[in-house]
Amino acid sequence: MSLIPSIADNANVVVIGASGGIGAALTEQLANDSRVAVVHALARADLEHTSPSVKNGHIDITDEQSIQAAAAGCAAPAGVDLVIVATGVLHRSGEVRPEKRMLELDARVMGEVFAINAIAPALIGKHFLPLMGRGRKTVFAALSARVGSISDNRLGGWLSYRASKAALNMLLKTLAIEQSRTRPDSLVVGLHPGTVDTDLSRPFQQNVPGDKLFTPAFAAGCLLRVIDGLSGPDNGGIFAWDGKSIDY
Ligand SMILES: NC(=O)c1ccc[n+]([C@@H]2O[C@H](COP(=O)([O-])OP(=O)(O)OC[C@H]3O[C@@H](n4cnc5c(N)ncnc54)[C@H](OP(=O)(O)O)[C@@H]3O)[C@@H](O)[C@H]2O)c1
Protein backbone atom coordinates (compact mmCIF):
# COMPACT_ATOMS: atom_id res chain seq x y z
CA MET A 1 0.00 0.00 0.00
CA SER A 2 1.18 3.51 -0.75
CA LEU A 3 0.26 6.91 0.70
CA ILE A 4 2.11 8.60 -2.19
CA PRO A 5 0.93 6.90 -5.41
CA SER A 6 1.58 10.09 -7.41
CA ILE A 7 5.32 9.71 -6.74
CA ALA A 8 7.25 7.43 -9.10
CA ASP A 9 7.65 3.76 -8.22
CA ASN A 10 10.97 2.72 -6.64
CA ALA A 11 11.20 6.19 -5.16
CA ASN A 12 14.41 7.52 -3.64
CA VAL A 13 13.29 9.62 -0.67
CA VAL A 14 15.08 11.67 1.98
CA VAL A 15 13.96 12.67 5.49
CA ILE A 16 16.12 15.32 7.16
CA GLY A 17 15.57 15.44 10.90
CA ALA A 18 14.70 11.75 11.10
CA SER A 19 15.39 11.77 14.86
CA GLY A 20 12.53 14.20 15.57
CA GLY A 21 8.99 13.30 16.53
CA ILE A 22 7.49 13.96 13.10
CA GLY A 23 10.67 13.03 11.19
CA ALA A 24 10.82 9.58 12.81
CA ALA A 25 7.14 8.94 12.04
CA LEU A 26 7.63 10.02 8.41
CA THR A 27 10.67 7.75 8.11
CA GLU A 28 8.74 4.78 9.45
CA GLN A 29 5.75 5.31 7.15
CA LEU A 30 7.93 5.86 4.08
CA ALA A 31 9.96 2.75 4.90
CA ASN A 32 6.72 0.75 4.75
CA ASP A 33 5.37 2.46 1.62
CA SER A 34 5.17 0.19 -1.41
CA ARG A 35 6.40 2.89 -3.83
CA VAL A 36 9.56 3.64 -1.87
CA ALA A 37 12.83 1.84 -2.60
CA VAL A 38 15.17 3.80 -0.32
CA VAL A 39 14.63 6.17 2.61
CA HIS A 40 17.70 8.21 3.49
CA ALA A 41 17.08 8.97 7.17
CA LEU A 42 19.39 11.87 8.05
CA ALA A 43 20.01 13.34 11.49
CA ARG A 44 22.83 14.81 13.55
CA ALA A 45 22.51 11.94 16.06
CA ASP A 46 23.24 8.28 15.26
CA LEU A 47 19.98 6.64 14.22
CA GLU A 48 18.82 3.06 14.45
CA HIS A 49 15.96 2.80 11.98
CA THR A 50 16.23 -0.90 11.18
CA SER A 51 13.97 -1.35 8.14
CA PRO A 52 15.91 -2.79 5.18
CA SER A 53 14.88 0.16 2.98
CA VAL A 54 16.26 2.76 5.43
CA LYS A 55 19.78 4.10 5.02
CA ASN A 56 20.74 5.99 8.17
CA GLY A 57 23.00 8.97 7.56
CA HIS A 58 24.49 12.01 9.23
CA ILE A 59 23.73 15.68 8.67
CA ASP A 60 24.49 18.80 10.67
CA ILE A 61 22.13 21.36 9.18
CA THR A 62 24.13 24.28 10.62
CA ASP A 63 27.22 23.23 8.61
CA GLU A 64 26.97 23.66 4.82
CA GLN A 65 29.77 21.16 4.15
CA SER A 66 27.81 18.56 6.08
CA ILE A 67 24.68 19.35 4.02
CA GLN A 68 26.70 19.02 0.81
CA ALA A 69 28.17 15.68 1.89
CA ALA A 70 24.74 14.37 2.90
CA ALA A 71 23.31 15.39 -0.48
CA ALA A 72 26.11 13.55 -2.29
CA GLY A 73 25.20 10.44 -0.29
CA CYS A 74 21.56 10.61 -1.46
CA ALA A 75 22.27 11.31 -5.15
CA ALA A 76 21.22 8.60 -7.62
CA PRO A 77 21.37 8.35 -11.44
CA ALA A 78 17.57 8.52 -11.70
CA GLY A 79 17.41 11.41 -9.25
CA VAL A 80 15.68 12.00 -5.93
CA ASP A 81 11.86 11.84 -5.76
CA LEU A 82 11.00 13.34 -2.38
CA VAL A 83 12.86 15.37 0.24
CA ILE A 84 11.17 16.27 3.53
CA VAL A 85 12.94 18.71 5.86
CA ALA A 86 11.55 17.89 9.31
CA THR A 87 14.05 19.81 11.40
CA GLY A 88 13.20 22.86 13.48
CA VAL A 89 13.53 24.56 16.85
CA LEU A 90 11.07 26.38 19.11
CA HIS A 91 12.88 25.98 22.44
CA ARG A 92 16.11 24.50 23.77
CA SER A 93 16.48 23.68 27.45
CA GLY A 94 17.23 26.84 29.40
CA GLU A 95 18.78 28.63 26.40
CA VAL A 96 16.04 29.21 23.83
CA ARG A 97 12.39 29.79 24.59
CA PRO A 98 9.74 31.55 22.51
CA GLU A 99 9.41 35.22 23.49
CA LYS A 100 6.12 36.34 25.01
CA ARG A 101 6.95 40.02 24.41
CA MET A 102 9.44 42.22 22.58
CA LEU A 103 11.45 42.92 25.76
CA GLU A 104 12.55 39.27 25.70
CA LEU A 105 14.18 39.58 22.28
CA ASP A 106 17.82 38.44 22.26
CA ALA A 107 19.98 38.63 19.15
CA ARG A 108 21.85 35.38 19.90
CA VAL A 109 18.62 33.42 20.35
CA MET A 110 17.10 34.98 17.23
CA GLY A 111 20.23 34.05 15.29
CA GLU A 112 20.01 30.41 16.39
CA VAL A 113 16.30 30.13 15.59
CA PHE A 114 16.78 31.70 12.16
CA ALA A 115 19.83 29.50 11.47
CA ILE A 116 17.89 26.29 12.13
CA ASN A 117 14.41 27.21 10.86
CA ALA A 118 15.16 29.37 7.82
CA ILE A 119 18.82 29.37 6.73
CA ALA A 120 19.34 25.60 7.05
CA PRO A 121 16.32 24.57 4.92
CA ALA A 122 17.41 27.10 2.26
CA LEU A 123 20.91 25.59 2.13
CA ILE A 124 19.39 22.11 2.05
CA GLY A 125 17.43 23.32 -0.99
CA LYS A 126 20.64 24.63 -2.55
CA HIS A 127 22.24 21.18 -2.38
CA PHE A 128 19.25 18.84 -2.81
CA LEU A 129 17.06 20.60 -5.40
CA PRO A 130 19.62 20.05 -8.20
CA LEU A 131 19.41 16.30 -7.43
CA MET A 132 15.66 15.98 -8.03
CA GLY A 133 14.59 13.69 -10.86
CA ARG A 134 13.46 15.10 -14.18
CA GLY A 135 10.31 14.49 -16.20
CA ARG A 136 8.17 13.30 -13.30
CA LYS A 137 6.57 14.75 -10.17
CA THR A 138 9.10 15.30 -7.40
CA VAL A 139 8.56 17.14 -4.12
CA PHE A 140 10.80 19.12 -1.77
CA ALA A 141 8.76 19.87 1.37
CA ALA A 142 9.93 21.69 4.50
CA LEU A 143 7.94 21.69 7.72
CA SER A 144 6.82 25.24 8.36
CA ALA A 145 4.12 26.38 10.82
CA ARG A 146 0.82 28.23 10.63
CA VAL A 147 2.25 30.86 13.02
CA GLY A 148 4.67 31.81 10.22
CA SER A 149 1.73 33.25 8.28
CA ILE A 150 1.91 37.06 8.49
CA SER A 151 -1.76 37.50 7.55
CA ASP A 152 -2.85 34.96 10.21
CA ASN A 153 -0.93 36.68 13.07
CA ARG A 154 -3.55 37.90 15.54
CA LEU A 155 -1.91 37.08 18.89
CA GLY A 156 1.68 38.32 18.57
CA GLY A 157 4.41 36.67 20.67
CA TRP A 158 6.86 33.90 19.63
CA LEU A 159 8.65 36.58 17.63
CA SER A 160 11.74 34.63 16.53
CA TYR A 161 9.87 31.42 15.69
CA ARG A 162 7.13 33.25 13.77
CA ALA A 163 9.61 35.39 11.86
CA SER A 164 11.91 32.44 11.07
CA LYS A 165 8.98 30.48 9.62
CA ALA A 166 7.79 33.53 7.63
CA ALA A 167 11.34 33.79 6.26
CA LEU A 168 11.28 30.06 5.48
CA ASN A 169 8.01 30.51 3.56
CA MET A 170 9.57 33.28 1.44
CA LEU A 171 12.68 31.18 0.80
CA LEU A 172 10.57 28.19 -0.25
CA LYS A 173 8.49 30.31 -2.64
CA THR A 174 11.66 31.74 -4.16
CA LEU A 175 13.32 28.32 -4.49
CA ALA A 176 10.09 27.04 -6.09
CA ILE A 177 10.20 29.69 -8.81
CA GLU A 178 13.84 29.03 -9.63
CA GLN A 179 13.45 25.24 -9.54
CA SER A 180 10.48 25.35 -11.95
CA ARG A 181 12.70 26.94 -14.63
CA THR A 182 14.85 23.81 -14.97
CA ARG A 183 12.47 21.16 -13.60
CA PRO A 184 8.84 22.08 -14.34
CA ASP A 185 7.54 18.94 -12.57
CA SER A 186 9.53 19.58 -9.39
CA LEU A 187 7.46 21.09 -6.54
CA VAL A 188 8.72 23.04 -3.51
CA VAL A 189 6.26 23.58 -0.65
CA GLY A 190 5.95 24.31 3.07
CA LEU A 191 3.78 22.08 5.28
CA HIS A 192 2.07 22.78 8.61
CA PRO A 193 1.64 19.49 10.51
CA GLY A 194 -0.98 20.71 13.01
CA THR A 195 -0.15 20.66 16.72
CA VAL A 196 1.72 17.41 17.20
CA ASP A 197 2.74 15.70 20.44
CA THR A 198 6.54 16.00 20.18
CA ASP A 199 9.39 17.47 22.25
CA LEU A 200 8.98 20.72 20.31
CA SER A 201 5.37 21.34 21.37
CA ARG A 202 5.40 19.58 24.79
CA PRO A 203 5.85 22.69 27.00
CA PHE A 204 3.01 24.47 25.13
CA GLN A 205 0.31 21.80 24.97
CA GLN A 206 -1.72 22.70 28.08
CA ASN A 207 -4.37 24.73 26.23
CA VAL A 208 -4.62 22.39 23.25
CA PRO A 209 -7.84 20.31 23.27
CA GLY A 210 -7.15 16.56 23.14
CA ASP A 211 -8.69 16.13 19.70
CA LYS A 212 -6.44 18.90 18.31
CA LEU A 213 -3.20 17.33 19.57
CA PHE A 214 -2.08 14.87 16.92
CA THR A 215 0.17 11.86 17.35
CA PRO A 216 3.30 11.99 15.19
CA ALA A 217 2.01 8.96 13.25
CA PHE A 218 -1.31 10.67 12.45
CA ALA A 219 0.44 13.90 11.39
CA ALA A 220 2.95 11.99 9.23
CA GLY A 221 0.16 10.13 7.42
CA CYS A 222 -1.71 13.39 6.79
CA LEU A 223 1.43 15.11 5.45
CA LEU A 224 2.19 12.24 3.05
CA ARG A 225 -1.39 12.42 1.73
CA VAL A 226 -1.00 16.19 1.23
CA ILE A 227 2.26 15.59 -0.65
CA ASP A 228 0.51 13.02 -2.81
CA GLY A 229 -2.24 15.50 -3.73
CA LEU A 230 0.12 18.31 -4.80
CA SER A 231 0.24 19.38 -8.44
CA GLY A 232 1.80 22.15 -10.53
CA PRO A 233 -0.31 25.13 -9.35
CA ASP A 234 0.61 24.29 -5.72
CA ASN A 235 4.30 25.03 -6.32
CA GLY A 236 5.66 27.48 -3.73
CA GLY A 237 2.57 27.24 -1.50
CA ILE A 238 2.13 26.49 2.19
CA PHE A 239 -0.30 23.68 3.08
CA ALA A 240 -1.75 22.43 6.35
CA TRP A 241 -2.07 18.77 7.39
CA ASP A 242 -5.61 18.69 5.96
CA GLY A 243 -4.48 19.89 2.53
CA LYS A 244 -5.86 23.42 2.92
CA SER A 245 -3.69 26.24 1.65
CA ILE A 246 -2.32 28.71 4.24
CA ASP A 247 -1.93 32.37 3.21
CA TYR A 248 1.55 33.85 3.55
N1 LIG B 1 5.13 19.68 16.89
C2 LIG B 1 4.30 20.64 16.49
O3 LIG B 1 3.25 20.86 17.08
C4 LIG B 1 4.65 21.47 15.29
C5 LIG B 1 3.71 22.44 14.88
C6 LIG B 1 4.02 23.24 13.76
C7 LIG B 1 5.20 23.04 13.09
N8 LIG B 1 6.09 22.08 13.51
C9 LIG B 1 7.36 21.96 12.78
O10 LIG B 1 7.60 20.60 12.48
C11 LIG B 1 9.03 20.39 12.41
C12 LIG B 1 9.39 19.15 13.21
O13 LIG B 1 9.05 19.38 14.57
P14 LIG B 1 8.84 18.21 15.65
O15 LIG B 1 7.58 18.54 16.34
O16 LIG B 1 9.03 16.86 15.05
O17 LIG B 1 10.03 18.57 16.65
P18 LIG B 1 11.16 17.68 17.33
O19 LIG B 1 10.63 16.36 17.75
O20 LIG B 1 11.76 18.57 18.37
O21 LIG B 1 12.20 17.44 16.14
C22 LIG B 1 13.02 18.47 15.68
C23 LIG B 1 14.07 17.88 14.76
O24 LIG B 1 14.93 18.95 14.37
C25 LIG B 1 16.26 18.54 14.57
N26 LIG B 1 17.13 19.67 14.86
C27 LIG B 1 16.88 20.71 15.68
N28 LIG B 1 17.94 21.52 15.72
C29 LIG B 1 18.87 20.95 14.91
C30 LIG B 1 20.18 21.30 14.51
N31 LIG B 1 20.80 22.38 14.99
N32 LIG B 1 20.85 20.49 13.65
C33 LIG B 1 20.27 19.37 13.19
N34 LIG B 1 19.01 18.98 13.52
C35 LIG B 1 18.34 19.77 14.36
C36 LIG B 1 16.20 17.62 15.78
O37 LIG B 1 17.39 16.86 15.88
P38 LIG B 1 17.88 16.24 17.30
O39 LIG B 1 17.02 15.04 17.51
O40 LIG B 1 19.31 15.92 17.07
O41 LIG B 1 17.66 17.33 18.31
C42 LIG B 1 14.97 16.82 15.42
O43 LIG B 1 15.28 15.82 14.47
C44 LIG B 1 9.67 21.69 12.89
O45 LIG B 1 10.08 22.45 11.78
C46 LIG B 1 8.55 22.40 13.61
O47 LIG B 1 8.71 23.81 13.59
C48 LIG B 1 5.84 21.30 14.58
Span 55-92, pLDDT tens digits: 999 999 999 999 999 999 999 999 999 999 999 999 99
Q: Which atom of ligand 1 is nearest to the CA of 216?
A: 16
Rounded to whole angstroms, how far apart are CA atoms 29 and 220? Answer: 8
The distance of Cα 10 from the centroid of its chain, to the nearest Å, equals 22
Position 95 scores a pLDDT of 87
CB of 205 within 6 A of ligand 1: the answer is no
Tell me the pLDDT band of 217, cut-offs 50, 70 and 90. Answer: very high
Residue nearest to atom 24 of ligand 1 (CA): 87
How many angstroms does the Cα of residue 73 sit away from the middle of ligand 1?
22
CB of 193 within 6 A of ligand 1: the answer is yes
pTM exceeding the 0.95 threshold for the entire prediction: yes
245-246 vs 238-240, strand pairing mode: antiparallel
Q: Which atom of ligand 1 is nearest to the CA of 196?
A: 3
Q: Can you list the domains of the chain with their CATH numbers? A: 11-240 (3.40.50.720)
Position 79 scores a pLDDT of 97
- Any residues with CB less than 8 A from the CB of 184 and at least 6 apart, and which? 232
Q: Do 130 and 113 meet the contact criterion of CB atoms below 8 Å apart?
A: no
Q: Which atom of ligand 1 is nearest to the CA of 195?
A: 3
Tell me the pLDDT band of 115, cut-offs 50, 70 and 90. Answer: very high
